[in-house]
Structure 1
Amino acid sequence: MESRVLPDGKAPGPPSFMKLLKVDRELLVTHIRNVQCLLDNLMANDYFSMEDAEIVGACPTPPDKVRKMLDLVQSKGEEVCEYLLHVLQQIPDAFVDLKPWLAERGFWPSELVRSRVVVNTDPVSRYTQKMRLEWGRDSKFIKSYTQREEMLLADTYTEHIMELVDFHDAALGGVSSLDSLLVDSTGVINVDGETVFVVGDAGVGKSVLLQQLQNSWASSEPGAGPRFFFPFRCRTFGCFPPAAALSLRELLFSHSCCPELEPDAVFEFLLRFPATALFTFDGLDELQSDLDLSRLPDVASPLQPAPPVALLASLLRGKLLPGAGKVLTARTGVELPRALVRKKVRLRGFGPEQLRAYTRKVFPELAEQQRVLSQLDASPQLSSLCSVPLFCWIIFRCLRGGPGPQLATELPLTLTDVFLLLAEAHVSRTMPSSPLRSDPQHSQAETFHTGRGPLCALGRLAYWGLARNRFVFGPEQVAASQLPEGALQLGFLRLVPEPGPLGPQAAYEFLHLTLQAFFAALFLVADDSVGTAKLLRFFGEGTARRGLRGLGCLGGCHGGKKDPFRNNDHCQFTNLFLCGLLSKAKQELVQHLVPPATLRRKRRALWSHLAASLRSYLKGLPRTQAGEFLQVQAMPTFIWMLRYIYEAQSQRVSRLAARGICANYLKLAYCNTCSADCSALAFVLHHVPKQLALDLDNNNLCDYGVKELRPCFGRLTVIRLSVNRIADAGARVLSEELTKYKIVTFLGLYNNQITDVGATYVAKILEECPGLTHLKIGANLLTSEGGKCLAAALKKSRSILDIGMWGNKIGDEGAKAFADALRDHPSLATLSLAFNGISTEGGKSLAQALQQNSSMKIFWLTKNNLDDEAAESLAEMLEVNQTLNDLWLIQNQITAKGLSRLADALQKNSSILDICLSGNPIKPEEAKVFQHDKRFHF
């Protein structure tokens, strides 16, 4: 309690806690909801007897209990009253409404009272403690793909590349850490939305990210972050019986975590303070029910029974528990209404740094680390596959020494190869040792021949599920698949980890959805009864609404209205594995699973269908004439086509695809192309006989993808690789390849991660490629050294027309180097040095250089630090230079004084068309004086 000075100047006596309880008695009666917690503590310190507690408990209503307790406390003196206030202060979860009151009174207990024990028996606090214990235990381990191993999450989890994006998937910056996902300081694109929407490709690590989030919450200090954590998997909501209905309370307490004490009090607290809860929903694309928000009823009452999917929709809408935090994951391509999204995050998997960090965790011994890193450095294709954490997990297992399947060193390595190794690892554990197993080729064939029964049974189950969009299987489905005894112990299937809607009976799922797709493809190949129609089922469905014969699941597995919440690329993965298993390279292996005649029939049917689909698709691509180029806008569908062709490793189909690309400008921007796709792209494009323009802006290539494009650089004249996380190693590859062929005319590297080291490689391209006319290298990591390097190369180039350097940090030193290159330059017409930290000295140098330049037409100096002195130099330049058309000086430090000097110079200049000065410290009334000259833009 605050001390006060009395009017007579004397210090007051000790504060009266009895009086405080008496004065604010009705406030305490109103806001104390947990009498039992107070009684427990009063008895634990012998302030109350058992008889006192029984007297309080005998009161008929909660307010009466509080009044009786206060009467007894006051009757026992100041110390007991002070201790009661101390308990209210120490357990804020139980007495949250009294926190402001205690703060206002300035309550601070004496040393004696602080030494007394405070026991937290509040049901809300106990519920949080139970959650932390259970979720911490459940999230501690990651099961490996061999199922019998368990790896500590802390020993294996490596943060992925997370990128904030807007509603159009344009990058807004990186996510620095997992904790910052829930912080509003960056990345909010809709303040009214409540959901952090995390999207990413199959195997990129969305589920593990949520597991790490759960583990971090469980191990955090009490009082830090959300008070409640409710993890759900979206597929669970679709597994309830069709007529199932449950309330929000049943969903939380029966299918998540049930409070041990007073569930009514816990639920009441949750309803009063929904912002204290965090929900995670994993795998929206795996929901087995329609989530069309326009058709699902609103569930406004937390006690109203409703279909489980309607509960999910109402939670996402904020109709239930408005203000609660939500993190929702889905595969790339799944759409969520903008009104629901607060942040959108794209998960990119492992980049080079993350892959090295993961390698160090998986291979703690230095010698093993070096061996694996050497293999990765030698094979960009292997590195590209390892950029997907799921595939990396499998590959690293095969790179370990010791018994078990080993990764072949020969290339190409396809995704089918990776999953065959996975299947071999499972089956080989059940096989006796054999002399043949010393030969890897014979070993794999023997393994699959011996394991044919359980493999085909698992394939039958996987196919049954995919055909019905089912990913969880009850005992009856497992029995119907004719799995032999002991097959469940192989590790391909696991028990559904959380309490499921199937009641007491066990439910199973494949370790990963992509693994289910692999087994479905294996069934289609190995089962002799599968005919052509069934074999091509996942190609053929949904084609009518696309109007493209034979493309099928490239657009979606189910006909009719497209469900925007469901992504069916598990069907595409089934097709991809089908192409891999029926490829010529796998013929020797697959013939142990299927009769030769059946194998030939299925291979002919697949290749014929794939070729027809390819011709139909390429013919239907929209084409646009853009200047000298006939541009074709390919869609993500095209990427799947390329993946199929690459997985099949068919040169014949590859040449067919190359001949079908009639346009000379292939636009694949925003197609979610990853580095591994570049192998498939190069596999086709190196067959194209003519020169091409290739636009791969806004994808996920990184340096690995650039390396995999090597085979086709001899065909490319226009190369657009902006916003692709390309760093210095990628710039080096570009330098080596483009200076070899010397045909490039346009190189786009905007918004990547190229440093001054990479600038030396780009400078070599600029210097040695005589046809290069456009270079875009803005928004990288260039400093003055990189600027000097590029300026020196510019000085030697006689073809360059346009250089974009927006958003680097070349400063005045770099600007002076560019000024030196600009003097008498014969060709450069457009230059952007915007947002580069250029101040007065750099601006003056550039202005002076332009007095001797007659080629420049457009010059951008936006967002620098140019002042009136720099404006004076620019005005002097304008009095001499009669070729410059556009001068952009937006967001600098030019005042009315500099403006006046520029206006004077325009009296002597008839060539300038636009001078943009918006964002400078020029007052409207000052600008108004010069508005008669339409060349000024404020």
Structure 2
Amino acid sequence: MDKDTALIHILNSKGVSTLLGGKLPVSVITDNEYIPPLTSEALVTDRNVDHSLSSLDHCISSSLGGEVKTVILVGPEGSGKTTALQKLVVDWAKGEHLQNFSYVFYFRLREMNFLEGMLSLETFIQHHQSHVPPQAVPLLLQKPEDALFLFDDLDQYRHSLDPSVHSVCSDPSQAASVPCLIASLLHGSLLKGAAFVVATRPAARLDFLSGISVEVLGLLKPQREAYFNRFFTDQSDANKALMHMERTLGFYDFCISPRFCWTVCSIYKSLMDAGRKLPETLSQLYVDIMVYLIQSLSLSKDCNRDLVLALGRMASHCCFDQHRSCTKEEMESFGFQQFLSSVGVFLQIDGDIEQNTCLFSFHSQLMLEFILALCFFLDKSSSEGVEKVMEKHKCHTNFFDLFLSSLSEPIQRRPLETLLGELNSDQIMNFRCWFKSSSEAALKGYYKDMHYRCFHLLYQAQNESLVKDIITSSAQMGISYDDLSLLNCVTLNYVITCLGEMKQLNLYRTRNFTEEKAQVLGPTMSLSHKIILSDSSLNPGAVPHLALALSRGITKELDLSHTNLGDEKFSILCVALRDSKLLKLNVLACSLTSCEDLVPVLTSATSQLGVLNMMFNPIGDVGFMKLCKALHSPHCKLQELWLRSCQLTAASMEAFSSALCCGQSELRKVDLTGNTISDNGVETLSKSLKHPLCRLQSLILYDNELTGACCPHLKEALMSEHCSLSELDLSLNDLNQEGALLLCQGLSRPGCPIERLRLTRCELTLSVFKELGSVLRSGTSQLKSLMVGINEVGDKGVKISMGCCLTPKLVEMTHLTDACVEDVCAAIRASKTLKSLEMRNNSLTDASVPPLVKVMKDSAIMQEMNLQYNNFSEDVFDTLEGCHKIRY
């Protein structure tokens, strides 16, 4: 096969470059403007393929260099498949690639839709590859492994190529239909051993093809930069155009399409040459494109209108009847009789326009949907309701409503009205009413996808007053926006910047919070009073943008729990926290091992941080002691410190005690749950509790491996007139009877400030309960809440405790039976303050239900009783259901 002849043949390909159709592949190749599209490595399914090669050209060459016989390129419209295939022919003909093949044939299947008759493979090749000399075909048939067939536009071929619907042939001289020949080739029964590259859009059925599938991505950001630099001769123009596109359009998937990049560059250049403003949204871009195309025809306003309405009828036909292309007869039925010679600026034309076999199609789905939207407002004869139209388009379009949103704004539709006449004002008003009512309804709900859609519609409208009108105080703006796409970041940011502030920005479970997303959301984060990023994955590049937003913004509360932040990223954040307005910081379970970077934050004269949650971070004693140094600073505003399960021991309690007594610390609440503080640590802390400068009011020592040996020291602290503790939690510690009785002595001191005491699962005995009862009956105790659940004292303990009319809760006492119910009811009737009672996980039976239901219904004070996990049968469920105050 003569390579020079093949090269000339492919470089003489016919066609017309158009704004929407892109530059001809042959022109791209000969003008040295070809940029290889990228592929998705994840979809390269053959294990023998080098996955490090992401260029489409390399991917194909690498695949075909081995045992692979069929490569299937799958990519959206305009992603560069056709240009890549033609470039393969050129490179082969020049001796640069694929030299293991002696024959390379390129076929566009959409050009064969109307090819009829019976042909042999020999005739088929010679008919469609006229540059192939007749003597080459017999040689090909003798050695088919030397041949490579490139089949383009599989999705646009109207006939099935599934071999199961054909009587596949194996004889090259046997006459068969063209679909049968192609199906036999791809099946491998005809010309066995030949290689194939098939290009198609994702919609095509490919289950009959065996081979490796490669997803064609197109041009990512670096490739787009190279594309713009080649398109514009002036470097400053290239930079301006690229920066503008990335800012306004770069978050759309179709920006990876080389054809779309051609369209954007072309329209940008015309606008820049005319000194006009570049479009701010996708809708504005298509308004500019439409204006450019209409003006290029130089028709009258009436003709412009008739042409666009005909395009609208064609778009409707293609959209709802699922037709990719239309025949000449169909085009005439749409009203194109006088415009067939002009439609080339809008449509792709396959075949001779004078022939009935000629086919017409839209270059892109986007243009089809824009024309649908434009004609909805342009057609004054239509009276179809907006809601009905929206429902009809829902499954067939993605941007129809977005284009409507833009065109409903006077300033955005004005350039088109200059060329087409005024749009239908009644339909525009109907759409705006629908938009407002549907958006308000969506924003009151909890479906984030509907929120996103509303934001996208508002973004396309570009009307700040419309945003403020639709997003009222009833909108659920605190809804979780997990797994944010870049597009959703852009639209959300637009809405919030229009509103001026946001109560709560909920980014819970944002799995891939990238630098790009954080940069886009920077203004929104600055305007948010509370930011929730819990259970999210923050890329390192995202942290500086979050930090900048905190230092410049109004954020008072930040939740980064379970983000696996780590010390390095936390260090970057801490620099910004010094100058932020942050009052609360939650870094629970963030893999932090050091507190060193927090010290400058807490000691900064401008820091307002008052609540710090560092639970489940292994900071250890060394980290905590560094934190304690900050408590000595007069600038430290910390009032609450949560240190649950931070690997602390008694070794760091001396430093903590010193900080509490220094006279500067404003700490009011400390949670040390789950640390090995031990009795020695409590002894040290008890000394500070007696100090006149200690202001601590709440101390949580839950599960600290304490015994009764710590109780004498706590008793001394409670007996001190300087003690300010109002809350003490000693739950899940084996205090035993002797230790607990010592605590009771401290509680009995007149003036003891304890109001809330928790002794859950502390191995308390009836003697302790009796002593607690005495304390409560003394009349001098400040206790308002006593939790003594899961201590095995049974019904007698209930009688003692309930007799004290305790408020507000008696929680989960175990081993309770029906025998305690009389005492419980008596206590409820006698109490003037008891509001809530929990009796979960006990052995109450159906016999207890009637008196408990009655006393709850009769009590005006009691609000809730929890009876879950008792021994009730279904027979009493209706009775329990009759009292809304009871949970069961």
TM-score bin, normalised by smaller chain: 0.5 to 0.7
**Is 2:45 aligned against 1:158?**
no
* Secondary structure of 1:165 counterpart: helix
What amino acid sits opposite 2:132 in the alignment? P
Aligned to 1:525: 377
Counterpart CA distance in 1 for 2:20 and 2:306 is 20
What amino acid sits opposite 1:712 in the alignment? Answer: T
Q: 1:641 and 1:225, CA in 2 relative to 1: closer, same or farther beyond 3 A?
A: farther
Instruction: Confirm whether residue 419 of structure 1 aligns to residue 293 of structure 2.
Output: no
Q: Closer, same or farther in 2 for the Cα pair 1:240/1:597, shift >3 Å?
A: closer
What is the aligned partner in structure 1 of residue 70 from structure 2? 194
Residue of 467, 486, 490 corresponding to 1:679: 490
Matches within 5 A, 1:500-519: 505-519=357-371
CA–CA distance in structure 2, aligned partners of residues 403 and 248 of structure 1 = 52
CA distance in 1, matches of 2:276, 2:535: 34
2:229 aligns with: 360
Mapped to 2, the partners of 1:792 and 1:586 lie a distance apart of: 54
Q: Is the 8 A contact 1:240 1:501 kept in 2?
A: no
Partner residue of 1:764? 572
Superimposed CA distance per residue, residues 120-150 of structure 1 (whole angstroms, 9 cap, x where no aligned partner): xxxxx23x55433322343999655498999
Conserved in 2, the CA contact under 8 Å of 1:404 and 1:425? no
Q: 1:824 aligns with which of 618, 622, 637?
A: 622
What is the correspondence of 1:824-863 to structure 2 with a 5 Å cutoff? 824-825=622-623, 854=647
- Which residue in the other structure is 1:16 paired with? none
Which residue matches 1:552? 394
- Whichever residue aligns with residue 765 of structure 1, its letter is L
Alpha-carbon distance in 2 for matches of 1:855, 1:306 = 83
Shift of 1:418: 1.0
**Aligned pair partner of 1:276 in 144, 147, 166:** 147
Whether 1:581 aligns to 2:379 is no
Q: Which has the larger radius of gyration?
A: 2
Q: Is the 8 A contact 2:559 2:586 kept in 1?
A: yes
Corresponding residue SS for 2:264: helix
Q: What's the CA shift for 1:801?
A: 7.3
- Partner-residue secondary structure (3-state), 1:138: coil
- What SS class does the counterpart of residue 156 from structure 1 fall into? coil
Does the CA contact (< 8 Å) of 1:720 and 1:747 recur in 2? yes
Partner of 1:717: 532
Counterpart for residue 168 of structure 2? 299
Query: SS at 1:419's partner residue?
Result: helix
SS of residue matched to 1:460: helix
Equivalence for 1:540: 391
Contact 1:692 1:717 in 2 (8 A): yes
2:479 counterpart of 1:601 = no
- Which residue, 631, 654, 666 being the options, matches 2:481? 666
Contact 1:399 1:407 in 2 (8 A): no
Q: Measured at CA, do residues 824 and 802 of structure 1 come closer, stay the same or move farther in structure 2, by a change above 3 Å?
A: same
Q: What's 2:269 paired with?
A: 400
| Corresponding residue of 1:350 | 220
Mark the CA change 1:427 to 1:264 in structure 2 (over 3 Å): closer, same or farther. Answer: same
Would you say the 8 A contact 2:574–2:598 is kept in 1? yes
1:131 and 2:131 matched: no
Q: Deviations over 1:138-178 (max 9, x none)?
A: 39996554989995444433344433114999xx9664433
Equivalent positions of 1:713-792 (< 5 A) are 713=525, 714=528, 716-718=531-533, 732-739=544-551, 740=553, 741=555, 743-745=558-560, 763-765=571-573, 768=576, 770-773=585-588
The residue matched to 2:481 in structure 1 has which SS? strand
Q: CA deviation at 1:647?
A: 2.7
Change in CA separation of 1:279 and 1:388 when aligned onto 2, cut-off 3 Å: closer
When normalised by structure 1's length, the TM-score is 0.51
TM-score (normalizing by structure 2):
0.53
In structure 1, distance between residues paired with 2:303 and 2:648: 74
- Cα shift readout 1:836-875 (whole Å, capped 9, x = no counterpart): xxxxxxxxxxxxxxxxx9479xxxxxxxxxxxxxxxxxxx
In structure 2, how many angstroms separate the alpha carbons of the residues matched to 1:794 and 1:182?
A: 53
Identity score, percent: 16
1:692 aligns with 2:506: yes
User: Once the two structures are superposed, what CA deviation does each residue of 1:496-543 show, in whole Å capped at 9, x if it has no partner?
Assistant: 46x69998854333344433333333333322233426x7777434xx
Q: Write the distance in 2 (CA, Å) between the matches of 1:425 and 1:593.
A: 11
CA contact under 8 A between 1:380 and 1:707: conserved in structure 2?
no
Which letter maps to 1:682?
A: N
1:423 Cα shift?
2.0
Alignment match of 2:313 (pick from 421, 444, 460): 460
**Aligned equivalents of 1:448, 1:618: Cα separation in 2:** 44
Task: Give 1:236 deviation, angstroms.
Answer: 5.3
Give the conservation status (yes or no) of the 8 Å contact 2:564–2:589.
Answer: no
1:14-35 deviation per Cα after TM superposition (whole angstroms, max 9, x unaligned): xxxxxxxxxxxxxxxxxxxxxx
Aligned-partner Cα distance in 2 for 1:199–1:148: 18
Equivalent-residue separation in structure 2 for 1:195 and 1:469 (angstroms): 27
Evaluate the alpha carbon distance shift between residue 148 and residue 223 of structure 1 in structure 2; reply closer, same or farther with a 3 A threshold. closer
The Cα shift of 1:347 comes to 0.7
**Deviation, structure 1 residue 793:** 5.5
**1:179 and 2:32 equivalent?**
no
Cα 1:161–1:263 shift into 2, 3 Å: closer
CA distance in 2, matches of 1:384, 1:771: 31
| Partner Cα separation in structure 2 for residue 142 and residue 461 of structure 1 | 22
How much does 1:408 deviate? 1.9
Q: Residue in 2 aligned with 1:62? A: none
CA contact (8 A) 2:455 2:491 kept: yes
Residues 737 and 496 (structure 1), Cα distance of their counterparts in 2 relative to 1, 3 Å cut: same
Q: Partner letter of residue 527 of structure 1?
A: D
Match of 1:708 in 2: 520
Between the aligned partners of 2:65 and 2:114, the Cα distance in structure 1 is: 36
Q: Distance in 1 between matches of 2:182 and 2:45?
A: 25
Question: What residue number does 1:71 align with?
Answer: none
1:224 aligns with 2:99: yes
The Cα RMSD (Å) is 5.7
CA deviations 1:356-378 (Å, max 9, x no partner) are 322221223344345546656xx
Confirm or deny: 8 A CA contact 1:204 1:348 kept in the other structure.
yes
User: Which ranges of structure 1 fall in alignment gaps of 5 or more residues?
Assistant: 1-124, 433-446, 542-550, 558-570, 622-631, 751-757, 778-787, 804-818, 829-852, 857-881, 884-938
1:199–1:345 contact (8 Å) kept in structure 2: yes
Do the aligned partners of 2:293 and 2:346 also contact (CA within 8 Å) in 1? Answer: no
Give the match for residue 332 of structure 2: 479
CA contact (8 A) 1:146 1:426 kept: no
> 2:580 maps to which residue?
none
Q: Any residues of structure 2 matched to 1:311-390 within 5 Å, and which?
A: 324-329=194-199, 336-337=206-207, 340=210, 342-347=212-217, 349-351=219-221, 353-369=222-238, 371-372=240-241, 380-381=247-248, 383-384=250-251, 389-390=258-259
Quote the offset at 1:745 in angstroms.
0.8
Greater RCO, CA 8 A, separation 6+: 1
The 1:678/1:193 distance shift into structure 2, 3 A limit, reads: farther
Per the TM alignment, residue 744 of structure 1 is displaced from its structure 2 partner at its CA by: 4.4
- Three-state SS of the structure 2 residue aligned to 1:157 is coil
User: What amino acid does structure 2 have at the position aligned with 1:717?
Assistant: I
How far residue 287 of structure 1 moved from its aligned partner, in angstroms, is: 5.8
Please give the secondary structure, in 2, of the residue aligned with 1:572. coil
Whole-angstrom CA distance in 2 between matches of 1:649 and 1:279: 46
What is the rounded CA distance, in whole Å, between the counterparts of 2:536 and 2:623 in structure 1? 27
Maintained 8 Å contact 2:297/2:342: no
Post-superposition shift, 1:277?
Answer: 1.2
Matched position secondary structure for 2:326 = coil
Where does structure 2 lack aligned partners over 5 or more consecutive residues?
578-584, 602-611, 627-645, 650-674, 677-888
Equivalent AA in structure 1 for residue 41 of structure 2: L
